[in-house]
Amino acid sequence: MPVINRESEIIHKLYLHHVSIFTPDVEDSIAFYQKVLGMQLTTRFYQRSVFDIAFLRDGRSSNGLSLELIGLPLSGWREKFFRQHRPSLSHFSFVVDDVDAWYERFQAQEVEILIPPNDFLGIREMIFRDPAGLIVRIMAFLQPEATSLRVQDIIGSGGVTYYLHHLSITCEDINTVEQFYRGQLGLKTVIDRRPGGNIFMVDPAVAVDGSRCGPMIEVIDQTCWWDREAALFKNIGPCIDHISFLVDDVDTVYNELMSQGIESTTEPVDYGPNRIFFFRDPNGVEIEIQRPILPQLLTEWRQNER
């Protein structure tokens, strides 16, 4: 596949916008993400028996990833996907200026298009498959973005500020997926723990403030050294695996969530300079809580490890 020139105008105007979850009860899920993770409802689309969609944001005031909750009823590919996977992570989405220009580019490069450009709820969108087989959306706002509410300081459970940091995909082969996101979408690998580990990719046009970098896509493949991810690939195959939030103090957050009766799937454990635990949302989607990860710290850790 040809590699796109990073200087190209079209590429520079792309940014990772949201990760999306299918839920049978949007109101329940809104309550969970507001109460437990301190997210704020920014947009609600509801028409009885037609659609039920909500967008939430974390404590970051700009450029943060949003979380989309999609409820029933569903139609088209969404319905098919829901029947197959039940409540789950659905897709992730990039914002661009001109969806139709991207459509032409993708057609020329034989990217598998699932839904060609169309208008829906003030958004022009198209849906395609990445080489891992995952569903990805490209969209542009036809009206000024409805999610314009500025969220300066949202405090979640136990007075903690959470930052939505990355979404994680599990695939057969990291190299193929990396090549696609680098070549087609201009993302850059900023953390590289191969062989056996993960990579993190980021849009280089999005400013990194030095202590927190993101939003990111984490890519893990079937050769990874972690039991959890290896089992996931074996049981489910390529999938959007989890979404990850940063907090300053992982153990305090863990204790606070446990005291609220939230069930964790793992206890906090150290991974090099990281400290991580997982729990599930009401839909069964796994949420990762971790300390801020700095590419530089991880590089140093990796070098010391050799």
Q: Closest approach of Cβ 239 to Fe ion, in Å?
A: 13
Q: In this structure, how many other beta carbons lie within 10 angstroms of the beta carbon of residue 86?
A: 11
Min. distance of Cβ 89 from Fe ion in angstroms? 12
CA angle at 287 for the pair 21 and 136, rounded to the nearest 5°: 40
**Rg (the chain; Cα; Å):** 19
3-state secondary structure of 165: strand
C-alpha span between 11 and 148 (Å, rounded): 23
Residue 103 or residue 271: which is nearer to Fe ion going by CB?
271
Residue with Cβ nearer Fe ion (130 or 288): 288
Q: Which one, 116 or 273, has the nearer CB to Fe ion?
A: 273
Site for Fe ion in 111-130 (CB under 5 A): none
Please report, as a single letter, which amino acid is at residue 50: V
Question: What binding mask, one character per residue, do residues 270-299 give for Fe ion by CB under 5 A, x or -?
Answer: ------------------x-----------
- Between residues 151 and 217, which has the closer beta carbon with respect to Fe ion? 217
Per DSSP, the three-state class of 94 is strand
221-260 mask for Fe ion (x: CB under 5 A)? -----------------------x----------------
Report 155-194 residues binding Fe ion (CB under 5 A): 168
- Cα separations in angstroms, 37 against 29, 41, 155: 11, 12, 8
When binding is defined by CB under 5 A, the residue of 52, 58, 218, 286 that contacts Fe ion is 218
How many CB atoms are closer than 10 A to CB 82?
Answer: 19
Residues that bind Fe ion (CB under 5 A): 168, 218, 244, 288
